[in-house]
C-alpha cells in the first residue's frame, strides 16, 4: 500500500474508531420519549439553590416542619407542650442514639451495642417467621377441612353401582 493510503486509514481510525472505543456514545432514546427543553440559566440557578438548601437542611438532625410537616403539627392545648417535655425526659434513648454513644466510646462499647441490635432484630425476625408459619399452617388446615367436607358430600350424593 501507498503511504498516503496507510496514513489516511490511521487518521480515520484515530478520528472515528479510537474516539468511539475510548468514549463510547450512548444509545439513542426510544421513539416514544419526548425530549425536554433546555433549562435557562435562571432555572438552573433556582434548582441549584433549592438543592443546596435541602442538602444543608439534611445535615441537621431535626430538619424542621418544612420537610416533615406531619411531625410538627402543633397542638392548640397548652398542656400538650408540657406533657411532651415530661414524656421526652422519661423515654429511653433510641437505637440510633444508643449506637452513636457507643461509637464514641470505641470498639469496646460498640460491640455489645451492635450485639444487642442484632439480637433484637433476629428475635423480631424469628417471631415474624413463627407467626407466618402458624398462619400458613392454619390456612392449610382450613383448606384441607373444606376439601374433606366437599369429598364427603360428593361421596354421599353420588350413588355407587354394585356389580
Chain centroid, CA 149 distance in Å? 45
In a domain, 68, yes or no: no
- The pLDDT of residue 40 is above 90: yes
Domain total for the chain?
A: 1
> Which pLDDT value is given to residue 7?
92
In a domain, 62, yes or no: no
In a domain, 142, yes or no: yes
In a domain, 32, yes or no: no
For the chain, percent of residues with pLDDT exceeding 70: 76
User: d(Cα 59, Cα 148) in Å, to the nearest integer?
Assistant: 62
> Which of 3-7, 48-52, 87-91 shows the lowest per-residue confidence on average (mean pLDDT)?
87-91
φ and ψ at 63, to 5 degrees?
-85, 0
> Which pLDDT value is given to residue 116?
86
In a domain, 69, yes or no: no
In a domain, 6, yes or no: no
Which residues constitute the domain of residue 123? 93-156
> Which pLDDT value is given to residue 22?
80
Q: Under a CB-based contact definition with an 8 Å cutoff, are residues 98 and 109 in contact?
A: no
Summarised one tens digit per residue, pLDDT across range 117-151 is 889 889 999 999 999 999 999 999 999 998 888 88
Amino acid at each position: 500500500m501507498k503511504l498516503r493510503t496507510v496514513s489516511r486509514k490511521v487518521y480515520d481510525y484515530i478520528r472515528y474508531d479510537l474516539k468511539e472505543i475510548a468514549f463510547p456514545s450512548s444509545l439513542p432514546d426510544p421513539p416514544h420519549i419526548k425530549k425536554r427543553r433546555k433549562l435557562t440559566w435562571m432555572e438552573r440557578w433556582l434548582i441549584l439553590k433549592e438543592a443546596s438548601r435541602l442538602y444543608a437542611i439534611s445535615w441537621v438532625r431535626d430538619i424542621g416542619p418544612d420537610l416533615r410537616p406531619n411531625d410538627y403539627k402543633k397542638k392548640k392545648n397548652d398542656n400538650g407542650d408540657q406533657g411532651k417535655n415530661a414524656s421526652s425526659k422519661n423515654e429511653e434513648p433510641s437505637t440510633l442514639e444508643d449506637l452513636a454513644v457507643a461509637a464514641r466510646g470505641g470498639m469496646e462499647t460498640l460491640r455489645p451495642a451492635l450485639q444487642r441490635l442484632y439480637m433484637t432484630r433476629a428475635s423480631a425476625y424469628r417471631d415474624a417467621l413463627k407467626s407466618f408459619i402458624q398462619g400458613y399452617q392454619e390456612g392449610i388446615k382450613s383448606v384441607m377441612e373444606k376439601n374433606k367436607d366437599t369429598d364427603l358430600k360428593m361421596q354421599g350424593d353420588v350413588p355407587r353401582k354394585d356389580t
